[in-house]
Amino acid sequence: MAEQDTPQAPETDAADPAVGAAGPAVETAVPKGAGSPLVRGRRWVVGLVAAALTLTGAGVAATALIKSPAQAAAETAPPPPDVLTAPVEKRVLTSSVILRGTVVAAQAVEVTPSGGGEGSGPVVTKLPVKSGSSVRAGALLAEVSGRPVILLHGSLPVYRDLKPGSEGDDVAQLQKALTELGHPTAPDGTGRFGTGTKKAVNALYAALGYDPLPAVDDDGAGVESAQDQVTTLRRALEDAQRTLARAGADTDSAKREDLQSQVDRTREDLEKATAELAEAQAAEGPLLPASEVVFASTFPARVDSVAVALGTKVSGPVMKLSAGPLVVQGRLQADQKALVRAGQKVRILSEITGQQAAAKVATVAEEMATDQPGSGDQSGDGQGAPKQAGGAGSGYLLVVEPLKGLPRDLIGQDVRLTVEAAATKDEVLVVPVTAVSTASDGRTVVTVVAKSGTHRRIEVRTGATGDGYVEVVPVGDRTLSAGDDVLTGIRQAKPVAGSGE
């Protein structure tokens, strides 16, 4: 039987595995009958349609990724800026001056003995106190080369040795200190070193187990010589008077005149010698050397530090004392000084302990000082005028007094002072300093922002400043009231991410 061809089913798009959701694909295999013109034509149309669909999908995808420059700029530009405003206020304008300060005692004293010692210089031979000790008036602070250093009550500086015959306020201070210790100075007048003060000084030294140094170091030779002269002249006067009395009536007048003249001259010499004896006796007595006494204003005083040990040669301060209530000292710069005056409120803060205290400004120096921080040394032969401690560097010395006593453990600490310096006596209109600007014509203005968003410039005159605010007074007929909003700045919004800024 002759072989016959099997009938071929017509090809359709559905039968083509390349046709899918993305469109038909061009066939690469040619089935039977591919040479037929009909088949070739149909396949050419299918390929053309597939290519068109592919290009259309690619175009749609491209438009999703590509943007025009105008569109890109519009999408990346920041939003409109925000206007920053602040209300106009009416209040007392204050300026808080903040500075550093050091807690010190009202009086600080460096004990620097300079007397005593031979050859190698003064040496510490006794040291009855130690650092941290409380000491009272009449106490023995140290012994240097066998001589005492005595603490007494007083605030005047020691600038000279005191001895019989001395007069002045420093003598009056000594008399008061001796009387407080139970050694009265009567009958001496106030401020005069006389017989009563001599006895009191002798008693002071005796109470501590010492003999005072003599004011006149001649072992009494001066007084003895003056006494002998008085005795000689007194006898000579007696002899001259007896000779004159024996002269009879028959003695000629010239002789009697000579005898009378001799009596008169001898009497004059005796009076002079008697006065010299009184001076010698007045000068004789105890000496109070500046090197043997220290004055403190308040008791008990505190020994802040001891710089020597027993047997140490004295070449400087042997110890430091502090007395009186604690105060805080700082330095004001020129721009701060104009805002600070006595009586203003102050806040003290110890950043180490967290302690706070209310205080007031006690004094503000009128002249700028550049001295280094000290402990109030009393220099000289012994102890001179106490300096105020604390406050290193240049500036105007500020002394702050706490309203209540500060703990003694704060001595020497660096603390923060906030001085509430009032800049205005009454309530005034104030705005933030950033609200004030200068117009193109040189006028000082603030810009009021209405609720509707409109802006209105008002010329103002500025006054006191403080804590970031400035006093403003409207100029002319313009009005400015508390509660008005004034322009303080423009807040620019953050750029959109990817904008390249």
d(CA 98, CA 95): 10
User: Are residues 332 and 395 part of one domain?
Assistant: yes
Range from 46-55, 238-247, 403-412 carrying the lowest mean pLDDT: 46-55
User: Are residues 472 and 387 part of one domain?
Assistant: no
- Reported as a pLDDT band with limits 50, 70 and 90, residue 15 is very low
Asked whether residue 240 is domain-assigned, the answer is yes
CATH number at residue 397: 2.40.30.170
Whether the model pTM is above 0.75: no
User: Are residues 239 and 226 part of one domain?
Assistant: yes
Q: Does the pLDDT at position 254 exceed 80?
A: yes
Asked whether residue 127 is domain-assigned, the answer is no
Query: Each residue of 281-321: pLDDT tens digit?
Result: 889 999 999 999 999 998 889 898 999 999 999 988 999 99
Asked whether residue 177 is domain-assigned, the answer is no
User: Are residues 342 and 378 part of one domain?
Assistant: yes
Please give the pLDDT value at position 311. Answer: 92
Question: Regarding predicted confidence, which is higher, 21 or 308?
Answer: 308
Please give the pLDDT value at position 42. Answer: 58
Please give the pLDDT value at position 288. Answer: 96
d(CA 158, CA 429): 55
Tell me which of 389, 422, 455 is where a domain ends.
422
Please give the pLDDT value at position 459. Answer: 95
Beta-strand pair 293-296/140-144: unpaired
d(CA 317, CA 122): 12
User: Are residues 430 and 368 part of one domain?
Assistant: no
CATH number at residue 253: 1.10.287
- Reported as a pLDDT band with limits 50, 70 and 90, residue 488 is very high
Q: Is 180:204 a contact under the CB 8 Å cutoff?
A: no
Give the DSSP H/E element, type plus range, for residue 96.
Answer: strand 94-111
Domain count, the chain: 4
Q: What is the 3-state secondary structure (H, E, C) of 398-436?
A: EEEEECCCCCHHHCCCEEEEEEEEECCCCCEEEEEHHHC
Q: 3-state DSSP call for residue 222?
A: helix
Asked whether residue 184 is domain-assigned, the answer is no
Asked whether residue 403 is domain-assigned, the answer is yes
User: Are residues 432 and 340 part of one domain?
Assistant: no
Q: Is 439:471 a contact under the CB 8 Å cutoff?
A: no
User: Are residues 346 and 417 part of one domain?
Assistant: yes
Q: Is 259:266 a contact under the CB 8 Å cutoff?
A: no
User: Are residues 477 and 450 part of one domain?
Assistant: yes
Segment 94-107 mean pLDDT: 90
- Reported as a pLDDT band with limits 50, 70 and 90, residue 109 is confident
Asked whether residue 126 is domain-assigned, the answer is no
Range(s) of the domain holding residue 260:
221-283
User: Are residues 459 and 443 part of one domain?
Assistant: yes
Query: Each residue of 118-163: pLDDT tens digit?
Result: 556 889 999 999 998 899 999 999 999 999 999 999 999 889 999 9
Asked whether residue 161 is domain-assigned, the answer is no
User: Are residues 408 and 376 part of one domain?
Assistant: yes
User: Are residues 350 and 275 part of one domain?
Assistant: no
CATH number at residue 450: 2.40.420.20
Closest CA to 210 of 162, 148, 291: 148
Please give the pLDDT value at position 169. Answer: 97
Asked whether residue 114 is domain-assigned, the answer is no
Segment 349-363 mean pLDDT: 94
Segment 335-348 mean pLDDT: 91
Segment 343-351 mean pLDDT: 95
Please give the pLDDT value at position 79. Answer: 54
Q: Does the pLDDT at position 165 exceed 90?
A: yes
Segment 461-482 mean pLDDT: 89
